[in-house]
Amino acid sequence: MWFGLSGVRTPIILVNFKTYSEATGENALNLAEAAQRACLETGICVGVAPQFADIALISREVEIPVFAQHIDPIKPGSHTGHILPEAAKAAGAIGTLVNHSERRLKLADIDAIVTRAREVNLTTVVCSNNAAVSAAAATLEPDMIAVEPPELIGTGISVSKAKPEVVTSTIERVRKVNEQVVILCGAGITNGDDAAAALKLGTKGVLVASGIVKARNPYKVMLEFAEAMKKVQASRGQNV
How far apart CA 164 and CA 2 sit, in angstroms, is: 29
Of the candidates 148, 151, 172, 179, the residue annotated as catalytic is: 148
Helix (H, G, I), strand (E, B) or coil at 138: helix
CB of 230 to a copy of itself, least distance (A): 27
How far apart CA 223 and CA 228 sit, in angstroms, is: 8
Q: Which is nearer to a copy of itself, 120 or 162 (CB)?
A: 120
Tell me whether residue 100 is one of the annotated catalytic residues: yes
CB of 51 to a copy of itself, least distance (A): 5
How far apart CA 224 and CA 218 sit, in angstroms, is: 10
Helix (H, G, I), strand (E, B) or coil at 62: coil
Q: Which is nearer to a copy of itself, 198 or 213 (CB)?
A: 213
Identify whether the C-beta of residue 66 lies closer than 8 Å to the C-beta of residue 58: yes
How far apart CA 77 and CA 79 sit, in angstroms, is: 6
Q: Which is nearer to a copy of itself, 183 or 209 (CB)?
A: 209
Q: Which is nearer to a copy of itself, 20 or 219 (CB)?
A: 20
Of the candidates 22, 61, 79, 100, the residue annotated as catalytic is: 100
CB of 174 to a copy of itself, least distance (A): 10
Q: Which is nearer to a copy of itself, 103 or 236 (CB)?
A: 103
CB of 219 to a copy of itself, least distance (A): 21
CB of 19 to a copy of itself, least distance (A): 4
Tell me whether residue 148 is one of the annotated catalytic residues: yes
How far apart CA 60 and CA 149 sit, in angstroms, is: 34
Q: Which residues bind a copy of itself (CB under 8 A)?
A: 16, 18-21, 24-26, 49, 51-57, 69-70, 74, 76-84, 86-88, 90-91, 97, 99-111, 128-130, 132-133, 135-137, 139-141, 153-154, 173, 176-177, 209-210
How far apart CA 240 and CA 234 sit, in angstroms, is: 9
Look at residues 64, 90, 184, 65 and name the one whose alpha carbon lies nearest to residue 134: 184
How far apart CA 57 and CA 141 sit, in angstroms, is: 30
Which residues does the annotation mark as catalytic?
100, 148
